[in-house]
Structures are given as C-alpha cells and as structure tokens.
Structure 1
Amino acid sequence: MAVLSRRRRAFALAGVAALALIAAACGDDAGDTGTSNADKPECAPYAQYKVDKKKTVSIYATIRDAEATKLTDSWKQFEECTNIKIDYEGSGEFETQIKVRADGGQPPDIAVFPQPGLLASFATKNQLKELPAPVKANLDKNWSKDWAKYATVNGKVYGVPLGANVKSLVWYSPQLFKEKGYKIPTTWDEMIKLSDDIAATGIKAWCAGIESGDATGWPATDWIEDIVLRDQGPDVYDQWVNHTIPFNDPRIVSAAERTASILKNPKYVGNPKTIVTTSFQEGGLPVKDKKCGLHRQANFYSNQWAKGTNVAEDGDVFAFYFPAVDPSKGKPVLVAGEFVSAFSDREEVVKVQTYLASAEWANSKAKLGDWISANKNLDVSLVKGTIDQLSVKILQDPATVARFDGSDLMPAAVGSKSFWTGMTDWINGTKDTKATLDYIESTWPK
C-alpha cells in the first residue's frame, strides 16, 4: 500500500524560518552586485536546465510535513541556478483533489502519483502528457524496464519513478540470533526451518499487525503479493494483478495457503486473531524485546522503532531479504513508490521533469536522508541509514525481479477495499481461503 510508504517522522526545527530569511537576504545582496546566481561556478551542472526568463512550475503530491521540507530542499540549488521556481504543494487529499483540479481545467503542471493505477486513469483520458524525449532518455538510462512499465499506458510512457520502498524484508534481532546461533536464511526452506527453531524455544516465531484504521488489512495484502511472486513467479503475478487470470485462480490459492502456513499458523504466531487487532505500527515491536523472532515488513518500518534503537547488523534490530522459494529463478522483490507525470509540456516543465529523472537529483535527495530510489545510478554511499542502504542494494541487484504493490495496481474497488476486508476476515477465521478469494473475485469491476 503506497500510502504507508509516505509516512515519516516529522520533527520541527525552530530556526528554519530565520535561516531562510537570512538566506533570502544574502541572495538579495548578491543580486544587488549585478551577479546572477546562474553565472556562479556551482551552477555549472545546471546549465542545461536554465531558461532565459523567470518561470514557475507547480508540483502537487501527497508528500507533506518534514518529508516535504526535504523534498523542496533537494531542488533549491536547481531553482537558484535555472530561473525556475518550483511551487510545491503537498496534500492529504491528493487522490480526490487531483481529479477535481484536472477535470476543472486547472491541474498542476506536475503531479506525483502514489499509485500507477491512478496515473493510468488520467492517461486514458488524455489528460497527461507523454514523456518528452529528454525525460524518456533519463528514464531509459536510470531505471529498469520493470519500473518503467508501471507508468506505461497503451504503449505510451507518462511518468518517471521518484521515491521507492522495498517491501520484501524480514526484521529480526541480531542479539537474539547471536545468542541462539541462528543464521540468516537464504532460501524459503531455511526460513521455515528457522521459524521452527524459534517456535521451539517458546517465543513467537513471527509477529504481525494488520490494524490500520480504515485501511485495516493492507499489511496482509503485502504478504499475499510477496508470496504470489515467490510461489508462482512474476508472469503469474502480472496475470493476477491485471486480472487475465481470476483472483481465485488455483495458483493464487496455492500462494495464499503458503502464506497461511506462516501467518495463520498458531505454532508460529499464537492466536492469529490477535493480528487483526494489533496495529501495523505495533506489529513488529516485540522483535526488539526478543519476544518475537521475525516480522515481515517494508524498509519504512524503520520509522516505528523507538528513538535510540540501533538499527544495524550488530544492533538492536535489522532486516534481511525475504527469501525466494527457488533462488535459481531470480530474486523476487515487492516494491512501491511514486511517479512523476505532467499535465503541461511547457519548456520549463520539461526541464523540471528531466531534472527529477536524473541521477544528479536522486543523489541530491539521498544526501538529505530517509529516502531511497530505484534509480540505477543512485550512489549508495550517499544513502543514509543501514536499512535504506540495504534496500538500495536490493533494488540495484541485477538478479532482482521487481514487481509493484499489486493492490496499488488493481481497481480501487478491489485493491483498497475488498482485498483489505477479505484478508481481515481470512486472518480472523471468518472465511477460509477459497471463500475469501471467491469473495474478492466477485468484487472485481465487470
């Protein structure tokens, strides 16, 4: 679920406003001398983006608070050197308001879509601009075909990836592993053996939480998606997400049963019903206290650990790659992220699009922390945080076979409704596997 990938811890810095005023004053003084910012040596890398007259480009997205501050900070030098001012707005009502604005004839120049399916709905109505040549060149240079295809609609490309999340991770306690002599599993069978060993000690092998307010159930959809990739492979995953095979296809039943062997297994999780009433935020916290061995959750779960928690290979908590069933078939990875699309093709808009699709911008953003990208030319050494570094290495691994969060690609009636509620009933024991998948299939729009 992409909305969770946008959650970050927000910390306010009291001196930011004052520093901004000082910086603005310094900029005015420089202007009084007759020296333009664009002529400064530090602006040389931005020469290709410069426009002759001052222009403004509007960007609308879901990214807010501290994360929005880091986003706008990432293009400050670009603004100073190009004559292009970026007017950024982040909104919690993005999914509703972007439609209102576009249908009303007042869309932003650029929108950052958190779901490829939402992007596609605007592309099919011819409201988005196909990628201009320089933007497409950066897409081809910096992203894999797997990522590029998620903003492709009817053979035309309308967006470029921005940020990313890696969901195929398992959190654990390095201290517990050291005490018990456990090894990081590299195959599914090794992980199941490890689960048995942990369960034999009397603590939960796995912990989870799927309560998330109106979105309760979404963490369980990630489990299903991750295991469809492992149990059946990327081709079947694509067919399932695109509904060229039904939601209740026997192959999806197989994957759901493999999921149930962990998530609904009392030997591993205790009473599965408690997973339904445990919040997403609290689901993995017992790992740190060594009351639970394993917790499958994305890189953004790092924000849930208490302040002072050492997230490292030899620290309080860390994570490993969720192993493949058959490693010889590649490295399946469930991912999520945002995509940059444009409603306008003015020169300055294309310049901003091109910059956001570049490795230079990705590295600028990475330096600010708490962010990763699937950009192949992102310098991992600039990425802050051990989990984010691990995630980027997974994304850049040539063996990785990435597939986007299925619920974000499915129609909203399924992906953000019946799939969530169906998984909740399934874990709660209200419906068995067949009845659950039959129900979700029945809700797919005709």
Structure 2
Amino acid sequence: MSSAFKRRLLIPIAAAGVVGLALTGCTGDTQQSAEDTDCSEYESYGTFDGDEVTISGTIVETEADRLIASWADFATCTDITIDYQGSRDFEGNIAQLAEGGNAPDIGIVPQPGLVSLLAENGYLQPAPAEVEANTDEFWSPDWKAYSTFDDVFYGAPMLASVKGYIWYSPAEFEEKGYETPTTLDELMELTETIAADGDHLPWCAGMESGDATGWPGTDWIEDFVLREAGPDVYDQWVNHEIPFNDTAIVGAFDSAGEILKNSEYIDTESLISTPFQEGGLPILDGQCSLHHQASFYEVNWGEGVEVAPDGDVYAFLMPPADADDPLAVTGGGETVVAFETSDAITAVLTHMSSDTFANLRVEQGGTVSANTGVDPSLASSPLLEDTIEILQDPDATFRYDGSDLMPGAVGSNSFWKGIVGWLSGDSTQQTVDAIESSWPQ
C-alpha cells in the first residue's frame, strides 16, 4: 500500500475502566488451563511461570473484552499474567506517568505524534528484534515509518481504520432511487436531491468529544485535501512544507463548509453539541440520509443493527474528485510500544505484532487490521471485509490521519478548536490563519 496514515477508535466512557487477564479466556471470569487449550501456536514463546505484564491504552468496555480475548490463549499457554487497564485519559496522562516512573510495561498508543513525543523524552524502549521482524513481514514500510524516529523503531502497528466512509440506509436509497456517487460533484448533487425531497436534512453529524471536541471535523478537511489536492500536497501540509493557510487547504475547508455550514443540509445548531458516537444514529430513524465517519463507527450502531449492502445501514467511501482518480483514503491506528524490558514483555509484544494475534482480534469483531496476514473473510461485516481489502491493496493510496501526524499544539489543539470556531461562525481564512500561527517554530 502506498502511503506517506485517529485515534478515537473506541467509545469513551465516563470513568476509566480496568480489566485484567490472568490465565483466562475472557476478562478474568473463567479460569482455563493449558490442558484445555491448543498451545501448538505458542510453543516457540516458552513458558514464564506467571510473570506479569501490564498494558494500558484507550480501549475500553466491549472492545477491551475483545482485545483481552485475542491474547487469552497466548497468556494461558505461556503462563504470562497480562493485566490490561483501559482509560479515556490514557493519552493525556501517559507522558506524566512515564516521567514519574509509573508507566505500564506496554502502551497501546493511538497517535504517531504521541509515540514520537514519548520517544523524544526517552520513555520508550526500542522494539525487540522479533517485533521488528514481524513488522517487516506483515506491514508496509510506511506503517513501520510511523513509529520510527531518528532511525530507531519503537513498536508495531495493531488495529486500523479507514476514514471517509459515508454511512447511509440501503432501504432508503432503494426506495427513493438514490445512487451511490462516483465523484465529489455527484455527492453534492445527491445532497441537493435529498434536500429538495424535503423529508429531512441530507446529513447528520456530531462533533462533541470532551476535550477532543471538533476532531470529526478534521477528518472532513483531511478527506477533501487528499481528494482535491492530492497525496503530495497532503504530505506537504502535514509536514508543514506548505502553510496551514495555503490555498489548497482553504479550498478543502470551503468544500467541507458547503455541507457542514449549510443549515439546509445539516443541523448546524446541534452539530457541535452532539456526541460523535450519536452523530449518525438519526439514519436509523429516517431523520437524515448521510453520515461521514470512519470504519470504526460500526460499533456505534448498536445491537441488532445489520451492517450490510441490504442491511439497516451500510457505507460507501467519499468519492474522488474525478471518477478516474485512483483510490485514496485516510485512516488511523495504534502502535504497541514498551516502557520496560523483560523476556515476558518481549513475548507479549511479539505475539501482538503477529498475524496470529491480528486474525484473532479481527475474528472477535468490530475492527480491522492492516496486517497483511489477516484473512479478510474473518471480518465481522461485509464493510469491514472491504476495509481490510483496501488496507491490503498495494495500489491504494493511503494517508495516516493528518491531525495525528501534526505537532500536538496543532493536531490535537488548534486544529480541533479551530473546527469548533469555524462551525460557530468564524470564516475559513480566519480559521486557517489562526491554526497556522499556532504551528511550533
């Protein structure tokens, strides 16, 4: 996959959740022994007599249970006790914990920029050779580059997402004769058609995400930059080789604003206050037709909602500017890094960088991985199967979420805040000028 690759892969909770695994098959509720488990896949790791490895990350609730289940057999067969703690505050607190010597053994970090910060401050251990070998085998060089700084490789990718999906109701499209657009112009024509039909507003969305409010809007901008200006300009923008207020970025804001700032197309009054998890749910009630959100949004639809071409909801990728343009998508993922070293930590890191782990996690449902050893047929929906195939397509142009690659002062600060101000009435030029002025010198 060619690339020059957000976080928020999971639903935040009101307070930190703690889950642990000690030789169990799920979340500590069911004891199992190696005699009950096929351990042939894990013999090369050896056994560790109950050595404990702690892991932390942003993954919580159901997704945490699925993560734990993905290493359950490994833990049983190697006799390693793995304690996982998921918290919505992981990103904000991990540097402080590391500085105080209180970091977990392993961190699942959802932003390359945060990996870079932790590495620059000397908190991270270089990845073991076994992890680097797995990464070289199962990921593209671009993925490896996202966790390589000053020629030191710090950790393997884990899960992934593809951004720029537009969710819709297949039943509504069939009933009203709506066609999936093949260009951005056709997407706007579809928007105008839905608005003219008058049943409801064409689009729905939610920008609220606590301290990260505004981030869904950055995804819109990134998708328009990639499709309208192309991958080279996208890279120049992310690396600040062109200023944030370059005409190409102004154009992307204006294109997104044709929808996001138009009260005939979207509920502009509730846009900022609506939690992003709830942003697309009005589709299920026939209150809107289109919702721009990543592949990971599938987990938000709720129990009993079928995600399929003929199901309750499905999605198509935001189309290119020209129908003949090659496939180009944005996305995100996590990196598994270590703050400490031990043989048991190396074993856990190696397992989590393997195709075995990736297939087990995908089989648990609700997510995908860019690991090339993943069998797409294991995905929990046709959409996620398609997503894996996109991630494995060597001809697809893939770019990591831009705000996650930018310096924290911009990507997770002025850009998010700028989106909120822009949606509240600030002009495009005022917004991009302010974000440009915040870029670290």
TM-score by length of 2: 0.88
- Report SS of the residue matched to 1:363: helix
Aligned residue number for residue 30 of structure 1: none
Residues 9 and 373 of structure 1: CA distance in aligned 2, closer, same or farther (over 3 Å): farther
CA distance in 2, matches of 1:119, 1:19: 29
**Secondary structure at 1:310's aligned position in 2?**
coil
Displacement of 1:264 in angstroms is 2.3
| Shift in alpha-carbon separation, 1:309–1:45, aligned structure 2, 3 A | closer
Match of 1:4 among 8, 12, 25: 8
* TM score, norm. by length of structure 1: 0.87
Asked whether the 8 Å contact 2:26–2:68 carries over to 1, the reply is: no
Where do 5+ consecutive residues of structure 1 fail to align? Answer: 12-16, 28-36
Partner residue of 2:284 out of 285, 288, 295: 288
C-alpha spacing 1:125/1:205, structure 2 compared with 1 (3 Å): same
Alignment pair present for 1:91 and 2:87: yes
- For the residue of structure 2 that corresponds to 1:316, the secondary structure is coil
Change (3 A) 1:155 1:236: farther
2:197 aligned counterpart, secondary structure:
coil
Q: Residue type of the partner of 1:252?
A: I
Asked if the contact 1:199/1:267 (under 8 Å) is kept, the reply is: yes
Listed one character per residue, the Cα deviations across residues 107-136 of structure 1 (whole Å, up to 9, x for unaligned) are 332211111111101212233222222211
- Equivalent-residue separation in structure 2 for 1:442 and 1:21 (angstroms): 50
Deviation at 1:20, TM superposition (A): 8.0
1:233 aligns with 2:230: yes
Q: Tell me which residue corresponds to 2:299.
A: 303
Q: Find the counterpart in structure 2 of residue 150 from structure 1.
A: 146
Amino acid at match of 1:350: T
- Give the structure 2 partner of residue 217 of structure 1: 214
Distance 1:417 1:21 in 2: 38
Instruction: Note the C-alpha offset of 1:225.
Output: 1.1
Aligned AA (1:317)? V
- Contact between 2:254 and 2:428, CA under 8 Å: does it hold in 1? yes
Say whether the 8 Å CA contact 1:9–1:303 is kept in structure 2: no
| Whole-angstrom CA distance in 2 between matches of 1:84 and 1:282 | 39
Task: Give the Å deviation of 1:195.
Answer: 2.1
Question: Partner residue of 1:444?
Answer: 439
Asked whether the 8 Å contact 2:131–2:155 carries over to 1, the reply is: no
Q: Distance in 2 between matches of 1:209 and 1:93?
A: 21
The answer to whether the Cα contact below 8 Å between 1:273 and 1:427 also exists between their aligned partners in 2 is no
Q: Distance in 2 between matches of 1:184 and 1:254?
A: 24
- 2:56 is aligned to 60
Q: Which amino acid aligns with 1:6?
A: L
Alpha-carbon separation, structure 2, partners of 1:165 and 1:22? 30
In the alignment, structure 2 segments of 5+ residues that lack a partner are 18-23
> Would you say the 8 A contact 1:426–1:432 is kept in 2?
yes
Q: What residue number does 1:206 align with?
A: 203
Alpha-carbon distance between aligned partners in 2 of 1:374 and 1:282, rounded to the nearest angstrom: 27
Go from structure 1 to structure 2 and tell me whether the alpha carbon gap of 1:280 and 1:309 turns closer, same or farther (over 3 Å shift).
Answer: same
Provide the rounded CA distance (Å) in 2 between the counterparts of 1:247 and 1:287.
Answer: 34
Percent sequence identity is: 46
Task: Quickly say closer, same or farther: Cα 1:19–1:89, change in 2 above 3 A.
Answer: closer
**Equivalent of 2:44 in 45, 48, 53:** 48
Aligned to 2:242: 245
Residues 50, 327 of structure 1: CA spacing in aligned structure 2 closer, same or farther, 3 A cutoff? Answer: farther
Deviation at 1:216, TM superposition (A): 2.4
Corresponding residue of 2:164? 168
What is the match of residue 331 of structure 2? 335
Q: Deviation per CA, 1:205-261, whole angstroms, max 9, x where unpaired? A: 222222334332221111111111111122221221222221111111121122122
Deviations 1:1-22 (Å, cap 9, x if unpaired)? 94531217999xxxxx999889
Verify: 1:394 aligned to 2:390, yes or no.
yes
- Check 1:424–1:315 CA distance in 2 against 1; reply closer, same or farther (3 A cut): same
Distance 1:283 1:95, change over 3 A: closer
Note the alpha carbon deviations across 1:41-72, whole angstroms, 9 max, x for none: 82121122114655332222222233222222
Q: Which has the higher helix share?
A: 1
Aligned with 1:444: secondary structure?
A: coil
Q: 1:283 to 1:104 in 2, by over 3 A?
A: closer
User: 1:329, CA displacement in angstroms?
Assistant: 4.4
Cα distance in 2 between the residues matched to 1:78 and 1:286: 41
Q: 1:193 is matched with which residue? A: 189
2:21 paired residue number: none
Q: How many Å apart are 1:322 and its aligned residue?
A: 1.3
User: Are 2:139 and 1:136 aligned?
Assistant: no
Aligned-residue CA RMSD (Å): 2.8
Structure 1 residue 291, shift from structure 2 partner: 3.2
Comparing 95-104 and 112-121, the one that deviates more:
95-104
Contact 1:174 1:317 in 2 (8 A): yes
Corresponding residue pairs, total: 428
Distance 1:342 1:394, change over 3 A: same
Q: Using the alignment, how far apart are the partners of 1:327 and 1:19 within structure 2? A: 46
Letter of the 1:403 partner, please give it: R
